[in-house]
Structures are given as structure tokens and as C-alpha cells.
Amino acid sequence: MPKNAFYAQSGGVTAVINASACGVIETARAHPDQIGKLYAGRDGIIGALTEDLIDTSLESAADIARLRHTPGGAFGSCRYKLKSPDEHRAQYERLIEVFRAHDIGYFFYNGGNDSMDTAWKVSQLATRLDFPLICVGIPKTVDNDLAGTDNCPGFGSVAKYVATSMREAGFDVASMARTSTKIFVLEVMGRHAGWITAACGLASEAEGEAPHLLLFPEIPFTPDAFLARVKECVERYGYCTAAVSEGLRDADGKLIADMGVKDAFGHAQLGGVGQAVAQLIKDKLGHKYHWALADYLQRSARHIAASVDVEQAYAVGVAAVEQVLAGKNATMPAIRRTSDAPYAWEIAVADLKNVANVEKKMPLEFISPDGFHITDACRRYLSPLIEGEAIPPFVRGLPDYVRLKNIAVAKKLAAFEVEA
């Protein structure tokens, strides 16, 4: 009897993480002689700890195929980081206990930096405990900050969404600027790295096009320099649009979001850096503003996913199973770029221990010398990642996303308390 496999989604979900799940499940199903059942953790690794396993073999091939165009995490995800095996050895032992009870020999963990670290630790502990477990990580993060891969599935679709939204809002504000709104600010994700902010810049392909200014978390916010640029922009084009990272900080490293907006009781509000920056312009230059907070809309916008992102997300799922079948362990399928234009890529094999906990920063040469926009080098890197429109099927005017049955496997073990 072949061993069963376990798959879990981890951390913030994306528009294409289910495409990776689809790649894993379809490829595992194609090798019944080597892989038995594929169980998914309900709500990620918590499903393994609580023995809440979803039997994906009860889902139809058609529904599994529909995962490819469905956003969110079909089996549930979680923000739950396993501590080190020394600190919380009981958790790791529980994982092994559950895997042993359900004859699981393959562990697929679909997530970002933390998850690759967890997969690496689980792999090490299994070896130490002499439990036969092959661990493969599958890259996912909208933040694009995972090491060992040219880019990360999930990012390209957010990039396409924010650049499209910025362009569209720019056309709107340009129309209104004469008598009404002259300023538009879009707040985007990316607390530590400016990849998503940079992606907004793709919308501006010629002099004067939105977005005019980008505020990166890598560049300390200097109100005077920024206001001077806004003023110049309004004088030249009649309006000004900006994209702002939620992680924008001042020269002391303090989040601008913490400074700007307080609630009715005077408590600082997280979020709202977009409004804080827009309000600063209004206070100092007097212009009427609008601002938007894309929040979850940006990472769930499967309706405007990039084809290349969907393909890569699916491909890393397929490759994860293929690496297992090829006898790899403690690896992660990575994307290797072989050409910028025309864009070409292939799947490579990265070692989990080299990926775990290494944050890929945005190169400073991707930010223009004045700190307010992206360079041509950045465009060369980013532009291929938003290529292609992978429009999902629509029914009654709305995208037709799948909800799986998610039927649980019968439990065999005693309950286990998951610490909050």
C-alpha cells in the first residue's frame, strides 16, 4: 500500500493558492501506485494537530479542477507558527503521531517564509525520530519576499490588480480634477517590502500617467519632499495620484499608520496610512482628496489574476509531487527566470534549509533615486509577472468559485489542545 499524503495551506491566502492545491491533488491522483489518499488539513497545520483531516478523494475531479480559478484557501488556512522543536516538542510529536495514525508519508506545506521554516523543522524532527516522512514546501505569498525563487505565486495577481486599479482610478481623478478631487491615494499591502507598492508603478508607462508617486516601506517618509512633489504634480498635470505601502515609516522607523488616524476615543488605528497621507496633503496644500484601501480585495481578486501567476501556482503544486516521486526531501519547487523578454521560466529545486526564514528584500536599484517611483530594472522584473488574463467562468454575472465538500476523515486519536 502506498503512503498517504498531507497537504496544508498556511498564512494569508491568495488568489492562486488553490491553483497550487489543484496541482498537488491532480498530480497525486495521477500516481495512485505511489501516493495513497491525499488529506488536507482543515485550517492549515491546525488540522494536523487536531487530527481534523479532510479526505480530498471524496471531491470530484471537476471540483478539484475548479480550484484553479477559485481564490482563498479551499481547506482553510491559519496564522499559527510552530515554535522550535526544543520549545514545543509536544506539537511536533503530535504531528508525527497523527501522520503515523493515518499512514501519512508525504507532507506538503503551502505557505511563505514561516511555513518553509516549519516544513524544514518537521523534516528534521521526522529524521531524528526515525519516522519516514518526506517534506516538501510549496511557495505562496503575495508579499513576494520568499528566498530561493525568482518570484512567488500569489504576488503576480496582486500586482496585476493594484496596477489595474491604480490606472483606472487615475483616469477617474484626471476627469474630476478641474472642480473636485485632485488627489487620490491607494493604500496597498506589504508591511516590510515594497513589492506591491512597486507593482502599482507599472500602471504609469508614460510621462504624467498615474500613479505619480509611490511611497515604499523601504524609504523613510519625508513629508516636505513628498508635499513638494505633490505640488509640482498638481501644477503640471492638474492632479496627483499616489500608492502607499501600509508599512510606510518615518525616519525614526515609526509606522505612519500609527500617527495618522485615531478613533473617537483617541486610540491609534492600525491601517489608514492612505488616509493619513491624503489628509496631510489636504492640510498642507488644501486639495480635495479621495483614498481607497484595497485590503483583502487585492489578494482575493481572482477575477483579474495574471495567467502567468496561475500557471506558476499550478506548476509548483505539480512539481512538489514530482519532487517527492523523484525521491527529493526537504525541498521546495522554485521559479527560475531564464529570460526577461520574452519572459521564460522553469521550475527549479530549492532546499528548504536555504529558504527557511530568509526574507527576500526588494533591491534598492528597483527604486528611483528620488525614492518616489520604480526604475526600468524594476519594470523588467515586474512586468512579465502580470502578463495574461486568466478570467474565471462567470454565472449570473459573478465569478463561479467552487466550495468543496471538505468531509473529515474519522479520528483515531485522543483530542489535542492547540495553544492559542
The answer to whether 11 and 112 are in contact (CB under 8 A) is yes
Which residue, 76 or 105, is less far from a second copy as judged by CB? 76
- Cβ partners under 8 Å of residue 43, min gap 6: 52, 75, 76, 77, 78
CB of 326 to a second copy, least distance (A): 31
Work out how close the CB of 189 gets to a second copy at its nearest, in angstroms, rounded to a whole number: 11
- Phi, psi of 152, deg, nearest 5: -125, 130
Residue with Cβ nearer a second copy (212 or 299)? 299
Binders of a second copy in range 204-243 (CB under 8 A): 205
Q: Which stretch binds a second copy (CB under 8 A): 6-14, 24-32, 86-94, 245-253?
A: 6-14
Q: Is residue 383 involved in binding a second copy (CB under 8 A)?
A: yes
The reply to whether 387 sits near a second copy by the rule CB under 8 A is yes
Which of 196, 194, 175, 193 shows the shortest CA–CA distance to 184?
175
Q: How far is the CB of 131 from a second copy (least distance, A)?
A: 26
Among 300, 323, 329, 331, binds a second copy (CB under 8 A): 300
The one segment of 200-208, 229-237, 317-325, 352-360 that binds a second copy by CB under 8 A:
200-208
Out of 19, 82, 332, 386, the only residue in the binding site for a second copy (CB under 8 A) is 386
Q: Measured between alpha carbons, how far is 65 from 69 in angstroms, rounded to an integer?
A: 8
C-alpha 140/C-alpha 142 separation (Å) is 7
* Closest CA relative to residue 336, chosen from 326, 345, 327, 324: 345
Only one of the segments 110-118, 217-225, 260-268, 364-372 lies at the binding site for a second copy (rule: CB under 8 A); that segment is 260-268
Q: Which of 52, 114, 117, 143 does the annotation list as catalytic?
A: 143
d(CA 246, CA 260): 12
SS3 293: strand
**319 neighbors 347 (Cβ within 8 angstroms):** yes
Q: How is residue 16 written as a grid cell?
A: 492562486
Shortest distance in whole angstroms from residue 259 CB to a second copy: 6
Do the beta carbons of residue 356 and residue 148 sit within 8 Å?
Answer: no
Q: Is 143 in the active site?
A: yes
Residue 12 engages a second copy in binding (rule: CB under 8 A): yes
Residue 43, phi-psi category: left (phi > 0), alpha (psi -120 to 50), beta (remainder): left
Tell me the three cell numbers of residue 241. Answer: 495620484
Whether residue 311 contacts residue 293, with contact meaning beta carbons closer than 8 Å, is answered with no
Euclidean distance between CA atoms 375 and 360, whole angstroms: 18
Q: Any contact of residue 184 with a second copy (CB under 8 A)?
A: yes
For 28-79, give the DSSP string. HHT-TTT---EEEETTTHHHHHTT-EEEGGGS-HHHHHHGGG--S-TT----
Q: Which is nearer to a second copy, 114 or 218 (CB)?
A: 114
Binding mask 50-89 for a second copy (x = CB under 8 A): --------------------xxxxx-xxxxx---------
Rank residues 77 and 312 by Cβ distance to a second copy and give the closer one.
77
Q: Judged by CB under 8 A, does residue 295 bind a second copy?
A: yes
Q: Of 65, 228, 254, 296, which one interacts with a second copy (CB under 8 A)?
A: 296
Q: Which of 60, 175, 222, 357 binds a second copy (CB under 8 A)?
A: 175
Write the DSSP string, 133-191. -EEEEEE--TT--BTTSSS-TTHHHHHHHHHHHHHHHHHHHHHHTTTS--EEEEEE--S
**Is residue 294 a contact point for a second copy (CB under 8 A)?**
yes
- Binding positions for a second copy, 319-358, rule CB under 8 A: none
Residue 3: count other Cβ atoms within 10 Å of its Cβ: 18
Contact between 178 and a second copy (CB under 8 A)? Answer: yes
Alpha carbons 92 and 96: distance in angstroms, whole number: 6
Q: Among residues 24 and 133, whose Cβ is nearest to a second copy?
A: 24
Are the CB atoms for 56 and 64 separated by under 8 Å? yes
Q: Looking at beta carbons only, is 327 or 397 nearer to a second copy?
A: 397
Residue count, binding to a second copy (CB under 8 A): 80
Q: Does 111 bind a second copy (CB under 8 A)?
A: no
Per CB under 8 A, the list member of 269, 346, 370, 412 interacting with a second copy is 269
Q: How far is the CB of 268 from a second copy (least distance, A)?
A: 9
Q: Which of residues 134-173 bind a second copy (CB under 8 A)?
A: 160, 163-165, 167-169, 171-173
Q: Is 46 in the site for a second copy (CB under 8 A)?
A: yes
Active site residues: 143
